[in-house]
Amino acid sequence: MKILIVYLLFAIAPLMSQNVGINATGSTPHSSSGLDIDFTDRGVLIPRLSDAQRNSIVNPAAGLLIYNTTTQCMNMFNGSGWRQSCFECTFQVVPGSVPATCEGDTLHLSTNSILGASYLWIGPNGFSSSNQNPKIPSVGLVASGVYSVTATLAGCTSSPQNVSATIIAKPNQPNASSNSPVIPGNTLQLFSSNVIGATYSWTGPNGFTSTQQNPIVSNFQAANQGIYKVVAIANGCASDTGTATATLPPYQVFTSNGTFSVPTGVNSIRVCVVGGGGGGGGGHSGGGGSGHVLTGTYAVVPGQNFSISIGSGGSGGAGGNQVQGTGGNNGTASSITGLLTANAGNGAGASTTGGNGGSGGGGGCNAGNPGPNGGSNGSPGGACTYSGGLGGNFNSLAIFSSGLSITAGVGGAGGTLSHSGGGGGGGVQITGYNVNGFDGVNNASAKGGRGFGGGGGGGGYNGSNGIYYQAGNGAPGLVYIEW
């Protein structure tokens, strides 16, 4: 019956009046309305459509109203498109702008504070959060996009407000390497692989920093040991960190005075000490003796310091015109304080045999005798028509494990003419170092012994003009330590 009455009212309304009232009291509709619906216990339901259903309406009239079940808001067609009203709350969320964020960093989202409100954020890759100012740590590229936030207070939920976030890809991680291990005092060279369009930032031990792709650390010492880190930087973003470890080698070679500091974790060292070589005798004399060589193994304490003293080579004897040359000078001892001292080689006397260390005998009309001690004896010098004797060398040397080649150097050759000088005694040779006893002047003179502590070559004599030739100096000594 009620349905029929309503139907009839609508059917006859155009015939009876300019406006229509629907109510339970029979009151007259308001003159300003075409349709006046007046109830105190019910409302009006307009058509409820989803977005898809709304969009399927053919030729909607301007002013057409629906309730959008997709957005849960009122929609009106204004003649050119649908407009929406969600009956805003008395407050509004205002999200803060989001600066471009590097991949792997933390993305910060924020909005204004509304006292007593709760918040809901949604965004790319399934993101959601009920925090007012959420953070996304170690953010990935999939986090780029639009983030939406709403606030709810006293049952009213604000309309969503959007903010965009951009995630910048970080550059490729550089591969780091170095020329480690580095001998103390030498240069550490650091290397980074090339990252196109990037700059570089290095950090490391002892306050090291650099913006070069391949920096160096000069005068590398124990304090410079450790891990060196490098990042590539492009578009304001840093790559993952590349690392290179730099250490001292498990050995140290001293060719000049200094201090040895026992590295961390080291409780035992092996030592080889070589004294300075003696100088050759001037003019028709023997070669200088090589410095003595001593080795040993010692218990030590990390951080313990030892003074190192390197022996110098003795100067060679002078020559002369119609005057007998002078004898060579002794070298000086090498030592590591409190552990080992290796005596020097003796200089060869004028017209005499060489000093100790196995130097060659002087070549003369009277054959010089081989030099004693310090290693293999040198051969004697020949008679007037023969050359000086060959410098002696050490037959054996302790085997070390550093990877360096440490061998006994050969004695120097005697001169090639009659009345020649004797060869210098052989010293100790180490990979990467080219140190030898010095040769005498002129090919009537002899060669110096090879290696650290090698003796100087003896000077020769030219019987046709009466000139006695200058002898060679001895080579400096050495202290070698490994652990």
On the question of a cis peptide bond just before residue 181, with omega within 30 degrees of 0, the verdict is yes
DSSP secondary structure string, 173-222?
Answer: PPPEEE--S--TTS-EEEEE---TT-EEEEEEGGGEEE-SSS-EESS--G
The rounded Cα 258 to chain-centroid distance in angstroms is 28
* Structure confidence at residue 379 as a pLDDT band (50, 70, 90): low
Q: What mean pLDDT is predicted for residues 80-89? A: 79
Q: What local confidence, expressed as pLDDT, does residue 191 receive?
A: 98
Q: Place domain 176-246 in its CATH homologous superfamily.
A: Immunoglobulins (2.60.40.10)
* DSSP state letter for 104: T
Torsion sign across C-alpha atoms 265, 270, 271, 272: negative
* DSSP state letter for 53: H
| More confidently predicted of 402 and 386 | 402
Mapping DSSP to helix (H, G, I), strand (E, B) and coil, where does residue 86 land?
coil
Q: Are 270 and 348 in contact (CB under 8 A)?
A: no
- Read off the pLDDT of residues 7-27 as tens digits, 9 standing for 90 and up: 444 444 444 457 888 888 888
Beta strand 145-153 with 156-157 is: antiparallel
Q: Tokens in use for 316?
A: 């060679």
Q: Are 325 and 281 in contact (CB under 8 A)?
A: yes
Q: What local confidence, expressed as pLDDT, does residue 144 receive?
A: 97
Angle formed at CA 50 by CA 46 and CA 53, multiple of 5 degrees: 95
Identify the architecture of domain 101-168 in CATH: Sandwich (2.60)
Q: What local confidence, expressed as pLDDT, does residue 1 receive?
A: 44
What ranges do the domains of the chain cover? 1-39, 45-87, 101-168, 176-246, 250-483
* Structure confidence at residue 357 as a pLDDT band (50, 70, 90): very low
Same fold, 101-168 and 176-246: yes
* CATH number 2.10.10 given to 45-87: yes
pTM over 0.75: no
Position 163: which residue type? V
- CA dihedral (217, 223, 228, 229) in degrees, to 10, reads -110
Q: What mean pLDDT is predicted for residues 346-367? A: 51
Q: Tokens in use for 477?
A: 């000594």
Q: What local confidence, expressed as pLDDT, does residue 351 receive?
A: 44
Q: What span, in angstroms and rounded, lies between the C-alpha atoms of 310 and 298?
A: 19
- Read off the pLDDT of residues 424-467 as tens digits, 9 standing for 90 and up: 878 888 877 888 888 888 877 778 888 898 888 888 888 788 88
| More confidently predicted of 278 and 124 | 124
